[in-house]
Amino acid sequence: MSKRKRTSKIEKWIKEGRGSGIGSEYKPWLKIQDVSSLGRSTRLKGIKTNRQHEFLSDLERNYFYITEFSDFVIDIREQFPLLPLEETIVIANELGIKHPTDPKTGEPIVMTTDFLLTINNGQGVIEVAHTIKMKDELLKERILEKFEIEREYWHRKEIDWGIVTNAP
């Protein structure tokens, strides 16, 4: 009896096309069944993209509504992976920050940005990355460390990155 070759979850998801594509062809890296959430998860069909979107919180869903009805937003990609994994590991090491790991295995995980938007800003088409977080979470040191890895990742790609929150 031959042994089946095992591939990691990351390799499997890449092979499935997760985190790739644009418009109706985009497949989010994370789906709501992949993540245990304390909040409410939602799936909605997008008008612009004509595909199902995956949101891990009410705040993500609400931000989606804003982007969905903005005349400037052309494409909405949620749960966008920061790949290759080695790049965020290097960034974390350079910053002296512990890279996020799977609590069960201790293995590094693929970090994600909540939204990668394609926008027509009137002077051309650009991409912007937005992370969504409740204002109370911004007081947590570990959250800020992970944001610093994410910020530096997008900086190196020359893509504007920002935090969207529920603060008034």
Task: Choose among 88, 91, 99, 79: nearest CA to 35.
Answer: 79
Strands (E) across 56-158 are located at: 73-81, 112-120, 125-132
pLDDT at 37: 62
- Half-sphere exposure of residue 35, counting CA atoms within 13 Å on the CB side? 20
pLDDT at 38: 63
pLDDT at 102: 87
Q: Give the CA distances from residue 64 to residues 1, 47, 90, 165, in Å, rounded to whole numbers and listed in that order.
A: 50, 11, 31, 13
Q: How far apart (Å, rounded) are the C-alpha atoms in residues 63 and 165?
A: 9
Do 164 and 130 meet the contact criterion of CB atoms below 8 Å apart? yes
Q: Which one is the CATH code of 9-164: 3.40.1350.10, 3.40.50.1950, 3.40.50.2000, 3.40.50.1820?
A: 3.40.1350.10
pLDDT band at 2 (very low <50, low <70, confident <90, very high): very low
pLDDT at 153: 98
Amino acid, res. 121: N
- Average confidence score pLDDT of the chain: 92
pLDDT at 33: 81
Start-to-end CA distance of the chain, whole Å, equals 62
Q: How far apart (Å, rounded) are the C-alpha atoms in residues 79 and 60?
A: 10
Report pTM: 0.90
Give pLDDT tens digits for 18-51. Answer: 999 999 999 999 987 877 766 688 899 999 999 9
Q: How far apart (Å, rounded) are the C-alpha atoms in residues 52 and 83?
A: 22
Angle between helices 141-156 and 85-95 (to 10 degrees): 120
pLDDT at 105: 85
Q: How far apart (Å, rounded) are the C-alpha atoms in residues 141 and 98?
A: 12
Q: In the chain, where are the structural domains located? A: 9-164
